[in-house]
Structure 1
């Protein structure tokens, strides 16, 4: 893709695609690709909402808004992954920052900025959502597709995490408001981690990656054979309605995540 931005630190190389929703298209460690490849994969940004919003409808005070239904009957993963982003600051060999301005079909003006800071053994990602007019509820997070198998003859990835609860899913694929003890996978489920997201991906004998965030929510998705997803996010699915976080001109939403890796052997 044109206008890709490559960051390098040590033997780590990260590729950004600003015109494809500022997606992280590739993360290679010593030439080993960690993310599923393809225009819809890599690691994409979820903003200004995460996961499914019920029937594509959310409320801001007494006003209801209809979003495009792209995961019938719901709206999914926000608008940021569908639009080109623009350079927010000059990039360096290890850092980059991009932004886009919220616009139709999102009904409120605002600006979203994504900052990427690559180090030899980690990357720190930061998302900020600013209101440039009226206040509005919003969410932000990341949806990385980690390869289930690194394709070098090793074993499939193993996930390890401790959650305080799992959001029980209703028949409409959304949390129904009940918190239950975490169940064994496979998952397409949201977990509560009040002390912060902390999930380890372990490819035995090959690689270990730790996904951390001060955020309290993560969706874990393991229902596809090619990849697994560990999604740090600022609230649960349908959170625009059930747990709204109001973004105001003086109180932006900010979320960070750090991914740390260690080669084994």
Structure 2
């Protein structure tokens, strides 16, 4: 797209699409694409909430707001990925873009993303700020990592060691119970109280590590072509069950580091 922002650092390249919801369209290392390229894949931002919002209902104080149902019977992944983004600053290896929160989100505010690329990593930083009124918020990113890439000798391997898994009900929302991590396949949220640490390894090509101070990560392994590791600042439906308030003096900052090592 004509408004795409391109970052380059050594043999790593990143393409950001402000006109497509502030998504990452491409991440290449040594010329190899790591992200799925179908529409609505790549890596999109999740804000001002991440994952499913139960029945699309957001309760703040004594008022319940209805968000659009885009993953029946729930709302999923926030509104920022469907809105326009402005380029605030761009250099060869760093860019900042911003999005104004508005209808259907009932509170005025701003989501800002900053991308910093090096030859061995990408830092994703997000700030969710309010203009005036307090509101709950979550943030994170939803990448679609390719399972197989040409230089690797086999499909990607996923390694992580969560403390527990949020039990998922038939409605795909957490039941409130913490359970021992179950075997895959997964479309589940896991807790890592010391911070997210997940490793992806494409044998013979790349070791890719995902770290973040946030304590929750959704792992989605159902697609045949890709898998997702979504570090986020709270569990599904967390706006209602574990709200983190954003106030004029206390924005929500979320940071995720992707780092890689050639094998």
Name the TM-score, length of structure 1 as normaliser: 0.98
Deviation string 1:83-116 (CA, Å, 9 cap, x unpaired) is 1100122x11000000011000000000110000
Residue 73 of structure 1 corresponds to: 73
Residue 195 of structure 1 corresponds to: 194
Deviation, 1:204, is 1.1
**Pair 1:5–1:234, CA change in 2 (3 A):** same
Check if 1:49 corresponds to 2:49: yes
Distance in 2, Cα, partners of 1:153 & 1:86: 37
Q: Does the CA contact (< 8 Å) of 1:88 and 1:113 recur in 2?
A: no
Residue 135 of structure 1 corresponds to: 134
**Pair 1:110–1:153, CA change in 2 (3 A):** closer
**Structure 1 residues 1-265: aligned runs within 5 Å:** 1-89=1-89, 91-152=90-151, 154-264=153-263
SS of 1:105 mapped into structure 2: coil
Deviation string 1:221-255 (CA, Å, 9 cap, x unpaired) is 00010100000000000001111000011100000
Distance in 2, Cα, partners of 1:234 & 1:163: 15
Structure 1 ranges of 4+ moved more than 3 A: none
Deviation, 1:152, is 4.3
Q: Give the gaps of 5 or more residues in structure 2.
A: none
Residue-pair matches, total: 263
Name the TM-score, length of structure 2 as normaliser: 0.98
SS of 1:106 mapped into structure 2: coil
Deviation, 1:203, is 1.0
Deviation, 1:262, is 1.2
Q: Give the gaps of 5 or more residues in structure 1.
A: none
Deviation, 1:153, is 6.2
